[in-house]
Structure 1
Amino acid sequence: MCLEIWRHKKRVLLLLLLMATGSIFYYLYTLKLERERDANVSSTTSRLEREVSELQAVFESKVIPNLGALGRPARGNWTSEEMEAMEKSQLETGYNAWLSKRISPERTLYDMRHRSCKKLEYPLEKLPSVSVVITYHNEEPSVLLRTLSSLRSRTPFLLLREIILMDDGSSSVDEKFNNFLQIKFLNMVKHRRITTQVGLMQARVAGAQLALADVLVFLDSHVEVTHGWLEPLIAPILKNNRTCTTPIIDTIDYENFAYRRGKPSRGFFNWEMNYIQLPLLKKEAVAMPAPHQNPIMNGGLFAIGRQWFAKLGGYDKGLKLWGAEQIELSLKLWLCGGEILEVPCSRVGHLYRDGNFKIRYTDKDKNAEKKLISRNYRRVAEVWLDEFKDKVFANAPHLTVIPVGNLAEQRELKKRLHCKPFKWFLNNLAWDFLNLYPVLDPEDYASGVIQSTSSPKLCLDRSESPNGRPKLANCSSDRVFPKPEQHWILTNRRELRSGFMCLEVRNSGQDVYFYQCHGQRGNQYWSFDSKLHLIISGQDKGARRCLEAQAETNGLTTGDCDPQKPKQHWKFGHQNNQRLQQIWDRD
């Protein structure tokens, strides 16, 4: 009996010993696995940290702390070599790309909002989330990084569902930059590439089709959003899902990246389909900073409901590259049951290029690009302006010879959505526009050459020059109908116009340039005293100056008006003397 008990205990002890031994081996084995895993994690972490460090060295190592902070001008004691590098980069891109690389992607900005805006509260849980769609083509990485960083730091996390970044066929792919975006912004940015450039409009539509949020916000790739920019922009859409909203677009200086406030305005287009800005109506100015109606949006920065954008068909699929897209979408919104509001409590800074920089949006030759853009404008006129398209074609006859493509889909959309006629748009949104740009224009004051009477062989010439300065050149033999570069019109709107270009003064009225006509008078406002033969710049009597010939340099300037100075005497090829008698009546 005792022997059996002893044998049983022996078996139990042996079993316990085996179990203990197995546990020890298992513990040692799992400990080994954990050490190997920790080593792998540590190795992976080290590798990621090393990769991040290497990428930061490529894209952020040149950053100078606090340069341009709070939106101030980015200035420094630059060497002559650095100044030369700045000038070279500006010639290549239209802005100071060398300096951009030295400004932090995370740079701070002042709170630019009106004091009343800062008091407004928006319950985040009630506002819709947004998908921000940004398209780019060959964008400078430092500028794009600043766009994305400003979105991340100044947008409520609950509202920013995603950023959809569409590379519209950039000429080269920088894999290091793509990796840096993925690491720096994690899952916030969805980066997609279109292998062949399709143009701004279709790239945006492609991005919108990927969006998951109920509201789309379209931005350019060279912007910086400011404090509190998003909440007031999307709040009106919550009240009316057919509302499109636009922010105030501030300016980022192309030379030193200073952030400057823009002014609220109402967008429109003139009878040559150039975008113009009109002042607020009196009731809108009194109600500032409340949102106000915006007839035509200023291009690429706006918010809109995803379903409403889709119902409108996005952009016209026949529009190519860029140009006229904001006019097409704005007219479609207003005429087909929606509205556009500019929201002064929402501010976004936009980096504009040097006005003398000739940007190329495609590898196509210059003439082919111009034809594509002209085609866009003609498509919009044919579909949306009804009988008023004839007014546009009279002012821009070059559009009539451009093939317009198939318009059936757009006309069917207009019919399906029961869109109103363009006359409704003019009657309801444009009474002050019609005062400035009537359908039936009064006669112009003068036209033909502008001839210097002190040097009668010389006439004002706008032949292209790198600095945008007009010059004096030998006069055309035909003074009334000269070659286009010497054909000027003193229009009923008091512009000195040649083609799309107008004469303007800068630097306190000292220097004379030609620039695209803006229709806002100001530095493009001119008069002609036919008795004294003076061409006079300026609307304010106390600040008027007179155009002056510099025959020795074939140049132009302005000076204090002096009828006794022969250099200030001019003659037009054709003068409408009856109209010129009334030229001072409007002053």
Structure 2
Amino acid sequence: MRRFVYCKVVLTTSLVWVLVDVFLLLYFSECNKCDDRKDRSLLPALRAVMSRTHEGPGEMGKAVIIPKEDQEKMKELFKINQFNLMASDMIALNRSLPDVRLDGCKTKVYPDDLPNTSIVIVFHNEAWSTLLRTVHSVINRSPRHLLVEILLVDDASERGRGNFMKLRGAAASRGQVITFLDAHCECTVGWLEPLLARIKEDRKAVVCPIIDVISDETFEYMAGSDMTYGGFNWKLNFRWYPVPQREMDRRKGDRTLPVRTPTMAGGLFSIDRSYFEEIGTYDPGMDIWGGENLEMSFRIWQCGGSLEIVTCSHVGHVFRKATPYSFPGGTGQVINKNNRRLAEVWMDEFKDFFYIISPGVVRVDYGDVSARKALREALQCKPFSWYLENIYPDSQIPRRYYSLGEIRNVETNQCVDNMGRKENEKVGFFNCHGMGGNQVFSYTADKEIRTDDLCLDVSRLNGPVVMLKCHHMKGNQMFEYDAERLTLLHVNSNQCLDMPSEEDKMVPTLRDCNGSRSQQWLLRNMTLSM
């Protein structure tokens, strides 16, 4: 088993060839199972990539097209890292990229006395071409006086220790600011100064760049949007959502100003070193990967800091459709443990909401959180209700609701079920199982029937009943529940929710209200069995 190592890249003018040799020597010295002859053959290949002009594949962020005769080999190589390794290896390590910044960002002038930064990059079984391209983009597009060092942290253990490795990298760094980057990124021109400038203004501001998309299939560089920010769904999965109007109003329409974001994606951000230590760095009890971004997001906001997307900073990231790594016990087990820890420490009574949606989480051993709770008390952090009210009022978690649980039909004893379906698909109807998950709906104080960020919606008489994004404007999404008659009246159509028709036995429908048992529904709050 290879042990953990980290390598500091010394920033010199003769770095170009040193980088290749440093990485290969690091790899050879730490690998006791590799074929030296095969691996050392990478050196001339990498040097060849280094020496390419800016006229080769992928320049200016353009897509790389693999010839038909190489398609089968490309597909095999894709499985190694879950991205097109052949395309990546064809692209120069210092490839050119377009300037995707807003025009207003290009003319901004930043102070001369910005804090300097250490760059921490944790990698595990990373492709050399993507890792080296990350490093080259940092060096080539960062002002020399702001860059103290780049720490390359090799997490090569079989288990993988993502959060632990980030902590090791941070502890070894010397910069006034710590900037974390993933190992398959490309920084664009002007990416660093706006991040450091915001931290100079407010040391408690934790800042993220706009994360642009590098295609996992073609390595095309595609500019991300400054009109999205980070949130999360009922299962505590990070999601991108449109920036709400209230945030546009706060910035008075100036899109070059940072966006206050409820959560961050997690792999790319800058933070003042001393502030990072003050707020408790990473939770060392979390395993590998997953949940740490929300845990840190909640902690920053609830404990007096701010979390922002600096729209004048752009960093590309290879987004993969699947992970190439295996986690001990399975990905779900690891993420459930981490999410349980963050829920227990930071979500107060709202943790029950999460547990009802994801009942399997409550059976996971999540370790000792007493130190994290003591940290919260020492920092005098605000409650999660404050976070929902002030930072994320458009959260998918309704703060006021009549019921949270199943919607059971009196006649059939079956339940409304989202069936794992997506937006603009019909809601389902299935045997009640009492296990939460897809049969958990919230009937809110706004008279919506919600499943996560989707609401039951009916646009015409007799249905169909579909799931559309909740718009909070009542209309087609407004249902009035009569607790005595047990009816759910769709106000716009003046019809009642009814059991499925003979034509489609898996989908509830609307019919004229007639008082029948098939139009009676029990809205039951689920309870936890811890």
Report what 1:572 is aligned to: 506
Report what 1:247 is aligned to: 209
- Does 2:275 correspond to 1:287? no
SS at match of 1:161: strand
Report what 2:65 is aligned to: 75
Distance 1:365 1:489 in 2: 27
Using the TM superposition, give the Cα deviation of residue 386 of structure 1 relative to its aligned residue in structure 2, in angstroms.
Answer: 1.0
Report what 1:57 is aligned to: 44
Q: Percent identity?
A: 30
Using the TM superposition, give the Cα deviation of residue 295 of structure 1 relative to its aligned residue in structure 2, in angstroms.
Answer: 1.6
Distance 2:155 2:199 in 1: 29
SS at match of 1:266: strand
Using the TM superposition, give the Cα deviation of residue 150 of structure 1 relative to its aligned residue in structure 2, in angstroms.
Answer: 0.5
Cα distance 1:287–1:205, how it changes in 2: closer, same or farther (>3 A)? same
Distance 1:447 1:257 in 2: 49
Using the TM superposition, give the Cα deviation of residue 379 of structure 1 relative to its aligned residue in structure 2, in angstroms.
Answer: 0.5
Using the TM superposition, give the Cα deviation of residue 79 of structure 1 relative to its aligned residue in structure 2, in angstroms.
Answer: 3.2
Pick from 318, 325, 336: which aligns with 1:360? 325
Distance 1:228 1:421 in 2: 37
- Does 2:272 correspond to 1:311? no
Report what 2:401 is aligned to: 440
Cα distance 1:526–1:217, how it changes in 2: closer, same or farther (>3 A)? same
- Does 2:150 correspond to 1:160? no
Q: Is the 8 A contact 1:68 1:107 kept in 2?
A: yes
Distance 2:368 2:124 in 1: 27
- Does 2:120 correspond to 1:169? no
Q: Is the 8 A contact 1:252 1:258 kept in 2?
A: yes
Q: Is the 8 A contact 2:195 2:310 kept in 1?
A: yes
State the 4+ residue runs in structure 1 displaced beyond 3 angstroms. Answer: 51-56, 60-65, 436-439, 441-448, 459-463, 481-484, 486-497, 525-539, 573-581
Pick from 104, 124, 148: which aligns with 1:137? 124
Over residues 63-107 of structure 1, what are the superposed CA-to-partner deviations in whole Å (9 max), with x where a residue is unaligned?
Answer: 87520100111125x132x11111222233221111111111111
Report what 2:241 is aligned to: 278
Distance 2:253 2:362 in 1: 43
Q: Is the 8 A contact 1:138 1:170 kept in 2?
A: no
Cα distance 1:122–1:337, how it changes in 2: closer, same or farther (>3 A)? same
SS at match of 2:218: coil
Report what 1:480 is aligned to: 431
Structure number with higher relative contact order (C-alpha < 8 Å, ≥ 6 residues apart): 2
Q: Is the 8 A contact 1:245 1:341 kept in 2?
A: yes
SS at match of 2:98: coil
Q: Where is the helix percentage greater, Structure 1 or Structure 2? A: 1
Pick from 125, 129, 138: which aligns with 1:151? 138
Cα distance 1:573–1:387, how it changes in 2: closer, same or farther (>3 A)? same
Cα distance 1:271–1:170, how it changes in 2: closer, same or farther (>3 A)? same
Report what 1:340 is aligned to: 307
Distance 2:323 2:314 in 1: 27
Aligned pairs, number = 426
SS at match of 1:571: coil
Q: Mind listing any 5+ residue stretches in structure 1 that lack a counterpart? A: 1-44, 172-196, 449-458, 469-475, 498-516, 540-568, 582-587
SS at match of 1:248: strand
Q: Is the 8 A contact 1:378 1:400 kept in 2?
A: yes
Distance 1:219 1:441 in 2: 43
Cα distance 1:254–1:288, how it changes in 2: closer, same or farther (>3 A)? same
Cα distance 1:92–1:537, how it changes in 2: closer, same or farther (>3 A)? farther
Q: What is the root-mean-square deviation of aligned Cα atoms in Å?
A: 3.9
- Does 2:164 correspond to 1:202? yes
Q: Is the 8 A contact 1:445 1:492 kept in 2?
A: no
Using the TM superposition, give the Cα deviation of residue 289 of structure 1 relative to its aligned residue in structure 2, in angstroms.
Answer: 1.2
SS at match of 2:80: helix
Report what 1:115 is aligned to: 103
Distance 1:391 1:529 in 2: 30
Distance 1:285 1:578 in 2: 48
SS at match of 2:61: coil
- Does 2:366 correspond to 1:379? no
Cα distance 1:386–1:479, how it changes in 2: closer, same or farther (>3 A)? closer
Q: Which structure is larger by alpha-carbon Rg, 1 or 2?
A: 1
> Given residue 480 of structure 1, which amino acid in structure 2 is its aligned partner?
N
Pick from 274, 279, 288: which aligns with 1:321? 288
Over residues 15-65 of structure 1, what are the superposed CA-to-partner deviations in whole Å (9 max), with x where a residue is unaligned?
Answer: xxxxxxxxxxxxxxxxxxxxxxxxxxxxxx9xx9xx999754133446875
Report what 2:528 is aligned to: none
Q: Is the 8 A contact 2:405 2:439 kept in 1?
A: no
Cα distance 1:270–1:461, how it changes in 2: closer, same or farther (>3 A)? closer
Cα distance 1:60–1:410, how it changes in 2: closer, same or farther (>3 A)? same
Distance 1:529 1:480 in 2: 26
Using the TM superposition, give the Cα deviation of residue 437 of structure 1 relative to its aligned residue in structure 2, in angstroms.
Answer: 4.0
Cα distance 1:57–1:406, how it changes in 2: closer, same or farther (>3 A)? same
Q: Is the 8 A contact 1:117 1:345 kept in 2?
A: yes
- Does 2:385 correspond to 1:423? yes
Q: Is the 8 A contact 2:464 2:510 kept in 1?
A: no
Cα distance 1:574–1:83, how it changes in 2: closer, same or farther (>3 A)? same
Deviates more, 1:203-212 or 1:161-170: 161-170
Using the TM superposition, give the Cα deviation of residue 251 of structure 1 relative to its aligned residue in structure 2, in angstroms.
Answer: 0.5
Distance 1:101 1:441 in 2: 56
SS at match of 1:286: coil
Using the TM superposition, give the Cα deviation of residue 279 of structure 1 relative to its aligned residue in structure 2, in angstroms.
Answer: 2.4
Over residues 183-223 of structure 1, what are the superposed CA-to-partner deviations in whole Å (9 max), with x where a residue is unaligned?
Answer: xxxxxxxxxxxxxx552211111001001111000111111
Cα distance 1:316–1:479, how it changes in 2: closer, same or farther (>3 A)? closer
Distance 1:577 1:203 in 2: 59
Distance 1:412 1:161 in 2: 34
Report what 2:229 is aligned to: 266
Cα distance 1:227–1:149, how it changes in 2: closer, same or farther (>3 A)? same
Using the TM superposition, give the Cα deviation of residue 277 of structure 1 relative to its aligned residue in structure 2, in angstroms.
Answer: 2.7
The TM-score with structure 2 as length reference comes to 0.71
Q: Is the 8 A contact 1:278 1:433 kept in 2?
A: no
Distance 1:491 1:443 in 2: 4
Report what 1:559 is aligned to: none
